[in-house]
Amino acid sequence: MKSVICHEISDDISSVSFEEINLERPVSTEVQVKIMACAVNFPDILMIQGKYQFKPPLPFSPGGEFAGEVINVGEEVTQFSVGERVVGGARYGGFSEAINIEENSLRRLPENISFEKAASYSTAYLTALVALKVRGNLKPDETLLVHGATGGVGMAAVDLGKHMGARVIATGGTDQKLKIVKERGADHVINYSMPNESLGGFKERVKELTDGKGADVIFDPVGGTVFDESMRCINWNGRILTIGFTSGVWPQAPVNHILIKQISVIGVRAGEIGRRDPELGRQTREEIFELLTSGAIDPHVCAAFPLENSIDAMRMLEERKVVGKVVVTANGYSPRKES
């Protein structure tokens, strides 16, 4: 089979190669999946660069979220049969035409869900669900401010926020990207890279949209000055959900603001929730999958590249040109057209 292989750690993602490799038959409880689509995520890039907390043994193929069809099963497999559509996840190995994976890491995929959307939902929506429901206790009719709303996790937060009955204000860096977020349900969008002098940036605009109260819940994967300004447009008893620091800057929370407004600054690590509380982790994964298959959530895939062009797909993500998710496809699969 063909696969994208990383032979050595390098800051240059173009160092990976597209080559023919041998894949053994699945053993015991393993299932062999013919991959149709695999999502591209920042950890894929970071692993190639040796900057991710998990470092796979060399050589390896990047790619962790995939969907496809069962083509072979191990002798002890009981849950799946050849020909079934499945979606699954692994730490690496997805930028390939096929993968062997434990059957417990797979789910049966209904016909109504495309391979590219199935490959794109898990990490982003699980993070958003843990943040908004488990950690943020978002309630219907509250105002949710989502930063980085044009990215995969941010767009998932917008989608879930609307599903949970919140009024959603989304921020991002370009009008073109924010137009898509607005079309997908955000009540209001704010371009924080070009603040209007009369509004003073997103802070004043958020206050204007909330009758001076501010947002009840703020979803922040950006950090830096975005966090600082968020502290100045949050409602009394509000919750700031710290998801990450894509700005590259770790902000310092002003404790006096936290005290005066009775604010909660809450850290969110969706994967760690499942490791610390396996049952809660199982429940959240089940809930997200049910929301996907019922059509309650809808991952947005802005682009698809064939497997041999995986470097271009990663470069698109690296250069912040992705709106929602980007995937690589294999085995001649063509993504379904959006209706």
- pLDDT tens string 130-169: 999 999 999 999 999 999 999 999 999 999 999 999 999 9
Q: Is residue 5 scored above 60 in pLDDT?
A: yes
H helices present in 194-329, as ranges: 202-209, 224-230, 255-261, 270-276, 278-294, 310-318
Domains of the chain (ranges; CATH) run 2-109+300-329 (3.90.180.10), 123-272 (3.90.180.10)
Angle of helix 115-129 relative to helix 278-294, nearest 10 degrees, comes to 130
Q: Is residue 337 scored above 90 in pLDDT?
A: no
Per-residue tokens: 21: 């490799």
Each residue of 92-109: pLDDT tens digit? 999 999 999 999 999 999
DSSP 8-state secondary structure symbol assigned to residue 131: I
Each residue of 221-275: pLDDT tens digit? 998 889 999 999 999 999 999 998 877 788 888 898 899 899 999 999 888 888 8
Q: What is the pLDDT of residue 199?
A: 46
Question: What is the end-to-end Cα distance of the chain in Å, rounded?
Answer: 33
